Amino acid sequence: MPAPQTHYFEVEIALSGFGKQFTDVKMPVWAPGSYLVREFAKNVEGFQATAAGKALRTEKINKNTWRVYHAGTKDFAVKYSVYAFELSVRTSFIDASHGYLNGTSVFMYPADSKQLASTLTVKPAAGWGQVSTSLKPVSGAAPFTFQSSNYDELADSPIEIGNQKILSFVANGTPHTVAMYGDARYDEQRLLGDMKRVCESAQSVVGQNPLDRYLFIVHNIDRGTGGLEHLFSTTLSVSRNSYATEAGYKGFLGLVAHEYFHLWNVKRIRPIALGPFDYDTENYTHMLWLSEGGTSYFGDQIVQRAGFTTPENYLASLSNTITRVENTPGNKVQSAAESSFDSWIKQYRPNENSNNIGISYYDKGQLLVGQLDLMVLNATNGEKRFDDVLRYLYAEYYQKRKRGFTDEEFQDAVAKVAGRRFDDFFRTRVYGTQTLDYNTVLGYAGLKVTQTPASADGMLGATVTATGANVSALGAATGGKYIVTSVVRDGSAWQGGLSVNDEILAIDGNRLADDPGKALAGRPAGTKVTVLVTREGQIKELTFPLLASTNQRYRIEQLPNPTEAQLRVLGKWLKNNK
């Protein structure tokens, strides 16, 4: 990285012992854990190959493959540059302050030899003194030289380069390193102590620790973008102000819990499609609701078990997830299994109609795994729970069979632990769109769900974006243009003909000078409104009745007289390990 301010990594690969007429060298098209084809080869330039100091003939044979002709020599080198200026947890970035790379967007591999071990040497920019990665260093080698057993390990070990602050703690005997990039105010001792508690709580779920080291790369930036899991590490992108409030701080701990728990769920306990990876194309599975949604469920459970969240706050958060799922029209259209399978074309490419046709496998999966947890607890009289399902999958498939599991094998595992099958649940709730039976399942723990209308007023049924701000139809932004950015299926705007990209000019003959939600607030359902809009440069007048919102607020409450069996299940479900 001789000129980091230009946003380029310079890469050289030395390949030895390749005896064919030519070798194909590839760049992945996606990053495992982020299910979208991102075409990383678009950032490659200046590809060339040499042997013994002489140039070799090369040609690009498809979008992400370069062919190197090296007949007569088994050893050759490849050089290229990678433009890296997208700072997210799934891409690569370099500027004058630091470099960060994910292997899939920087490192190529010989197409037929992903299994080969490799040695990596990182040469930091002038003035940079730290290289943080979970790859193991090579003893006695040049500074910042690391080894990987195969390409999958190399690709799955992100690297932070610069002058990041290095912190550390030990959790259950395993050293954990925290590489902090960016300015942020936090209590160092509290942070490390709390991260340790989260990690130890996470390790107790499956009960087996596969680690001999672990690395957190934390980017403290203006606006965080989440996290991405890896085999022995994770990258967390966090707002630098997160630590300043209790809510923000606990949000950070929740992100730590989620990404750390992926060590088991996804990286080792995984659907069969998710490894070994095909880096050339999509890797389809119906089970991201388990891999991601289940990790969201356990992320919250881990924080609660570690004592950072009270049972009451945990149930309030779960109530919000129910509210979010049940008020999404797409929940009745797309199943959690379909959402998982279609992640490649929908999850990372939302549009104005996404909420009408789809559901998040994170949110829906969280509820599905939560229900399975309570169903197993009930079926075993509180003796076993979903933790035991994960323990079985870890032992049977990761350790013994050394592979992932099929959809059917997962259902069999749940049945083995529970002592009974839940085929109807999987058919109707996971692979179908039937509404979850909240009261029956939560009733196992002496709880119930109540629901009340979100509003008694008539609702526009659309989201409006004011100039420079996103607001709902009942938001508070003022000034500028008011553009319709989404319309709720079967709501007032949907039936009345209001369209995405319409600019609302007036309501009932009054020029709009404020958020339209204020002009409509308090009007009862059935009230007719006349909305003047401009669409494609033409003025249109639409008259339609305001319909009542179908949205509900959901709240989990305790039943008045829970039985001993219900209290036993509740105590097992919301236990506190503090």
Burial bucket for residue 495 (CB in 10 Å: 0-12, 13-18, 19+):
middle
Please identify, among 105, 133, 160, the residue that sits at the C-terminal boundary of a domain: 160
- Same domain flag for 270 and 258: no
| pLDDT interval class at 22 (50, 70, 90) | very high
Band the pLDDT of 72: cuts 50, 70, 90. Answer: confident
Query: Does one domain contain both 193 and 135?
Result: no
Is it the case that residue 475 has pLDDT exceeding 60?
A: no
| Structure-model confidence comparison of residues 473 and 103, the more confident one | 103
Q: What is the mean pLDDT of residues 432-445?
A: 98
Q: Which residue from 113, 104, 55 is spatially nearest to 79, judged by alpha carbons?
A: 55
Distance CA 7, CA 398 (A): 39
Are residues 219 and 280 both part of a single domain? no
Query: What's the domain count of the chain?
Result: 4
With 0-12 CB in 10 A as exposed, 13-18 as middle and 19+ as buried, what is 275?
Answer: middle
Domain-terminating residue out of 160, 182, 216: 160
- Over residues 131-142, the mean pLDDT reads 96
What pLDDT is attached to residue 466?
Answer: 85
Angle at 466 between CA 465 and CA 469, to 5 degrees: 85
| In the predicted structure, residue 481 carries a pLDDT above the cut 50 | yes
Residues 62 and 134 occupy one common structural domain: yes
Contacts of 297 (CB under 8 A, 6+ apart): 365, 366, 369, 370, 373
The pLDDT tens digits of the residues spanning 182-223 come to 999 999 999 999 999 999 999 999 999 999 999 999 999 999
pLDDT tops 50 at residue 578: no
Say yes or no: 398 and 312 in one domain.
Answer: yes
- Are both 250 and 273 inside the same structural domain? no
pLDDT at 515: 79
- Could you tell me if 190 and 231 lie in one domain? yes
Q: How far apart are the first and last CA of the chain?
A: 46
Q: Taking residues 124-142, what's their average pLDDT?
A: 96
Instruction: Give me the CATH number covering residue 111.
Output: 2.60.40.3650
Domain boundary among 234, 263, 292: 263
Residue 577: per-residue pLDDT: 52
Domain that holds residue 53: 4-160
Query: DSSP assignment, residue 172?
Result: T
**pLDDT band (50, 70, 90) for residue 474:** very low
| H helical segments located in 119-187 | 151-155
The CATH number linked to 240 is: 1.10.390.10
Query: Residue 479: which pLDDT band, with cuts at 50, 70 and 90?
Result: low
CATH number at residue 468: 2.30.42.10
Whether 97 and 206 map to the same domain: the answer is no
Residue 476 has pLDDT above 70, yes or no: no
Question: What was the pLDDT predicted at 66?
Answer: 98
* E runs forming strands in 164-205: 165-171, 174-181
Residues present in the chain in total: 578
pLDDT at residue 473, rounded to an integer: 47
Distance CA 421, CA 52 (A): 64
Verify that 303 and 428 share a domain, yes or no.
yes
Which tens digit of pLDDT belongs to each residue from 277-328?
999 999 999 999 999 999 999 999 999 999 999 999 999 999 999 999 999 9
